[in-house]
Amino acid sequence: MKLSEHLSIYLRSIKMTLGASKKFMFCIFADEVLSAVMPYVPVWFSARLVDGLIAGDSADTLVLLAVAGVFLTFAISTLRNFITSVESMAEYDVYTLERWSYSKKALEMAYESIEDRETKHLLERIKKETQTGWNRFYLYRSYREITFSVTQILAGIGMSASFFALSSFSLWGKLGLVALFAATVAVNMFTENKVQASKNRFWESAIDMNVLDDKCSSFIKDYTSGMDIRLYGMEDNLDTIMYSCDRKFGMEGAKQRMKESLMKLPSDFMLQGLKLALYAVLISAALLGEVSVGSIAKYVSCVILVLGAFNELARILTITATNNHYLKRYFSYFDIPNNMYQGSLTVEKRDDAEYDVEFENVSFKYPGSETYALKNVSLKFRVGQKLAVVGENGSGKTTFIKLLCRLYDPTEGRILLNGVDIKKYDYDEYMSIFSVVFQDFRLFSFTLGQNVATASNYDPEKVTDALEKSGFSQRLSELPHGLDTYLYRDVSDSGIELSGGEAQKIALARALYKNAPFLVLDEPTAALDPLSEAEIYARFNEIAGIRTAIYISHRLSSTRFCDDILVFHNGNVIQRGSHDELVSSNGKYAELWNAQAQYYK
Ligand code: ADP
């Protein structure tokens, strides 16, 4: 990464933190400046006291000096305590805002990006890296340590400037000392860089190991996988994987620490050499009477503090440079563009739900896929009708619905609503005309009422009505807290567990509550028992009302009652008609029907 890129990432990070909380930044800055000057207070006062004692200053002056030194240290430390408490409150705000930023980004992103394996992997990596200390943690640390080191270097140089005015040393002697100091700093920086690079390689290699370890531990913690783990006796296998991950991590970590200590040996050696040279120079200056006894301790302390600060600065700059690589990845997630064309047309509100939909030679490939999931699909819906979409698994039925609902845009061709390309409509408005129950729908650990209404404030009568239509009313009447009953036990101990069929009925009620002109049910009866399934078919026309309803299934018995049936095969619509027409023609539908019929007889 070039220096300019490092700078631009770092500046963006500062802007981001300032945007989240200026108070937080100010507290970091103030706290670190105070913390950096604090060690110089006793150094200065002690030197002054020793010199005062030797010079025979009055007792009053000495006591005043001692009290002033103690008071100043106390004042700085009290101020720091106050600043730290304000800072920790502000840090909580920054942390909350950052957590929310992930959700906000996910909500703004095109669905295509969220579903993309690369995006998921990227997000998982960023979260893992953040958990292991990169990104936010090191960023704040770098603000702190850069402020601290720079202040300490400036204060130290300021306090020891008089050393360079000593006349007992030649200019060459002073320059030699400065050169030795610079060489020690340079060797330290170089070593720190190497150590950090080696550390990074170690953490890079550890990330995959940790991801596997975390996955295993989340399987174990997630009670939904508890059944499979027990039933298939997976405990030993999970235990072995986790144990070997931990052991490998522990052993590799110990080796890494040993390697780092060896790498640091030469720079530690140089540091001790510098200290020796400094003592030699100061003691000989003191013998010549040019340096007071108090100043010896002052100069040595200053040089050691400044050297330490340079080392710290070198270390934190190296870590900051590494962290910039992680921040680059972090920002790349937030920079994922939403390339879906955002139209602005409003969708015409029609009481009669007369919406006319046409697929015009539509083809589609999933992002990153070479093969077409849909190829040259052209069709028109007869508005208000009950349309069935059938076909074997993988034939393109769900993809067809995802395109219709604009979760993806077609790779080729157009989809028209009332004659206008759906891309031209306002995205949220267009979404609002669909109620969809996907095969892999999700319910949330909120109350039943909130799940159906997808809101905290809702009309209980409307929710109850939707639940009745979806066939959930009997179970509802048995629930002690009615609509206020929590689903699952994540939030409340009195929450209820749901069978697959019950969950599907609630998802259907959610779709009905939305009351959108299009109702799409993707394999809606797959988890229902035969009685509930029969009930839904019998009342399907009543449930759908005047809406255009699309009913997807690979079970042909369940779509018989629809007047218009589309048959998908390998991403194409190969047949269309009523059940009777399709059964009597010698095509895919008849083949599937006859193959499945043996189970219905
Ligand atoms: P159906 O609903 O008829 O079972 P789908 O529409 O889900 O079929 O799938 C059609 C084709 O698209 C299949 O080959 C499937 O493997 C592929 N497919 C579905 N979802 C994705 C995805 N997110 N990424 C890549 N390919 C997918």
Strand partners, 436: 520
DSSP per-residue codes, 302-352: HHHHHHHHHHHHHHHHHHHHHHHHHHHHHHHHHT----S----BPPPP-TT
Tokens at 510, concatenated: 């959610």
How far away, in angstroms, is 395 Cα from ligand 1 center?
8
Alpha-carbon distance of 389 to 573, in angstroms, equals: 9
Element (H, E) at 81: helix 59-108
pTM of the complete model? 0.73
CB count in 10 Å sphere of residue 416? 15
How far away, in angstroms, is 569 Cα from ligand 1 center?
12
The C-alpha angle 96, 29, 78, rounded to 5 degrees, equals 95
How far away, in angstroms, is 70 Cα from ligand 1 center?
73
Assess contact for 483 and 460: CB atoms under 8 A: yes
How far away, in angstroms, is 394 Cα from ligand 1 center?
5
Closest CA to 451 of 523, 370, 514: 514
Closest CA to 380 of 410, 401, 360: 360
Alpha-carbon distance of 327 to 130, in angstroms, equals: 10
Tokens at 448, concatenated: 């039943």
Which residue type sits at 134?
W
Which pLDDT value is given to residue 231?
73
Q: Which CA distances in Å does 407 have to 120, 311, 431, 434, 566?
A: 17, 53, 9, 12, 21
Alpha-carbon distance of 582 to 576, in angstroms, equals: 7
Nearest CA owner, ligand 1 atom 19:
399
Q: Which residues line ligand 1 (CB under 6 A)?
A: 115, 366, 369, 373, 391, 393-399
Which pLDDT value is given to residue 367?
84
Closest ligand 1 atom number to CA of residue 401: 6
How far away, in angstroms, is 444 Cα from ligand 1 center?
25
pLDDT digits (tens, 9 = 90+) for 227-264: 777 777 777 787 888 888 888 888 888 999 999 999 99
Alpha-carbon distance of 500 to 528, in angstroms, equals: 7
Which pLDDT value is given to residue 400?
95
CB count in 10 Å sphere of residue 279? 13
Helix residue spans in 350-472 (DSSP H)? 397-404, 427-431, 448-453, 460-469
Nearest CA owner, ligand 1 atom 13:
394
Closest ligand 1 atom number to CA of residue 392: 3
Please enumerate in sequence order all residues whose Cβ is within 8 A of that of 330, keeping only pairs 6 or more positions apart, or say none.
126, 129, 130, 135
Nearest CA owner, ligand 1 atom 27:
366
Tell the residue number behind the tokens 């619905």, with chain if given: 401
Query: Which residues of the chain fall short of a pLDDT of 50?
Result: none
How far away, in angstroms, is 340 Cα from ligand 1 center?
20
Alpha-carbon distance of 334 to 237, in angstroms, equals: 37
Closest ligand 1 atom number to CA of residue 396: 6
Element (H, E) at 421: strand 420-421
Please enumerate in sequence order all residues whose Cβ is within 8 A of that of 295, keeping only pairs 6 or more positions apart, or say none.
47, 51, 162
Alpha-carbon distance of 467 to 451, in angstroms, equals: 11
Assess contact for 470 and 443: CB atoms under 8 A: no
Alpha-carbon distance of 373 to 395, in angstroms, equals: 8
Which pLDDT value is given to residue 337?
92
Which pLDDT value is given to residue 32?
97
Please enumerate in sequence order all residues whose Cβ is within 8 A of that of 452, keeping only pairs 6 or more positions apart, or say none.
458, 463, 466, 467, 483, 506, 509, 510, 513
Length of the chain, in residues: 601
How far away, in angstroms, is 365 Cα from ligand 1 center?
9
Closest ligand 1 atom number to CA of residue 402: 6
Please enumerate in sequence order all residues whose Cβ is within 8 A of that of 284, keeping only pairs 6 or more positions apart, or say none.
168
Which pLDDT value is given to residue 223?
62
Among 115, 365, 366, residue to substitute to test ligand 1 (most atoms within 8 Å of Cβ): 366
Element (H, E) at 550: strand 548-553
Which residue type sits at 178?
V
How far away, in angstroms, is 373 Cα from ligand 1 center?
6
Helix residue spans in 2-39 (DSSP H)? 3-20, 22-37
Which pLDDT value is given to residue 599?
65
Longest Cα–Cα distance of the chain, Å, equals 120
DSSP per-residue codes, 166-183: -SSS-HHHHHHHHHHHHH
Tokens at 410, concatenated: 């077609």
Tell the residue number behind the tokens 């939305």, with chain if given: 514
Which pLDDT value is given to residue 447?
94
The C-alpha angle 105, 110, 116, rounded to 5 degrees, equals 95
Q: Which CA distances in Å does 247 have to 101, 202, 260?
A: 35, 15, 20
Question: For the CA atoms of 538, 541, 545, 549, what is the dihedral angle to 10 degrees?
Answer: 120
Rounded to the nearest 10 degrees, the angle between the axes of helix 293-334 and helix 235-287 is 150
Closest CA to 422 of 344, 327, 535: 344
Q: Which CA distances in Å does 148 have to 7, 37, 445, 475?
A: 19, 9, 46, 64
CB count in 10 Å sphere of residue 320? 21
Nearest CA owner, ligand 1 atom 14:
394
CB count in 10 Å sphere of residue 447? 21
